[in-house]
A and B are shown apart, each in its own frame.
Chain A
């Protein structure tokens, strides 16, 4: 079964840049699009990146997504960190049957 692995937690200071990785267990992560979701406590997930590197309207350009085929990983970068960015972040892609697969989530602390 295809799996996505994320670090359990990351932390960084306000104003800095943080990168969250999402590594595919097999095949090529570049073969299927990756989405990234932000979830604040008590709220539903919201999309911050879709189709590897596209930002929905309303998402600031401090958020960016990329794919690194050499490491079979996707990454979410957040620059100019703000305290409001503190949340859980989930990556999501698809398996060979086009079924959704989620990473385990990364807790971002902005301290």
Chain B
């Protein structure tokens, strides 16, 4: 069955960096575009970034543009999110997801001094 498992979250100081990973299984990873979504504490869902199936096309929410970089390794069936220049407002649970509505369980990123 389709499964996605995120990892790499944790506590980081403002201005710091983290790299999130998402390991996919149960489907042909290279056939699908993938996305990152986040949810700040007590808030709604926010689309963060999108990468095409080949990895050549990438999109970012304005709130993370220039700080976050999405990438993928189709051979390893893995999706990544490199987060630099982290801010307190980036504190959230980060989910990887695939159309039509498959989600991982999320990884918590806390940005605090």
Let me know if A90 is at the binding interface, CB within 8 A: yes
In the complex the two chains form, is B103's CB within 8 Å of A102's CB? no
Q: Enumerate chain B residues within 8 angstroms of A24, measured Cβ to Cβ.
A: none
Count of chain A residues near B, Cβ 8 A: 21
Let me know if B68 is at the binding interface, CB within 8 A: no
Determine which of B37, B59, B100, B102 lies in contact with A97 in the assembled complex, contact meaning CB atoms within 8 Å. B59
**Given contacts A97-B59, A102-B45, is CB(A44)–CB(B104) below 8 Å?**
yes
In the complex the two chains form, is B100's CB within 8 Å of A44's CB? no
| Interface mask (B37-58 → A, CB under 8 Å = 1, otherwise 0) | 1000000111100100000000
In the complex the two chains form, is A35's CB within 8 Å of B101's CB? yes
Complex CA–CA separation, A35 to B97 (angstroms): 13
Let me know if A111 is at the binding interface, CB within 8 A: no
In the complex the two chains form, is B50's CB within 8 Å of A100's CB? yes
Let me know if A51 is at the binding interface, CB within 8 A: yes
Let me know if A47 is at the binding interface, CB within 8 A: yes
In the complex the two chains form, is B106's CB within 8 Å of A104's CB? no
CB distance from B102 to the nearest CB of A (A): 7
Let me know if B105 is at the binding interface, CB within 8 A: yes
Complex CA–CA separation, A85 to B37 (angstroms): 24
**Given contacts A44-B95, A45-B103, is CB(A99)–CB(B59) below 8 Å?**
yes
Complex CA–CA separation, A12 to B11 (angstroms): 40
In the complex the two chains form, is A46's CB within 8 Å of B47's CB? no
Q: Enumerate chain A residues within 8 angstroms of B33, measured Cβ to Cβ.
A: 98
Sort A-B residue pairs by CB-CB distance and give the 4 closest, nearest first. Answer: A47-B101, A50-B100, A50-B101, A35-B101
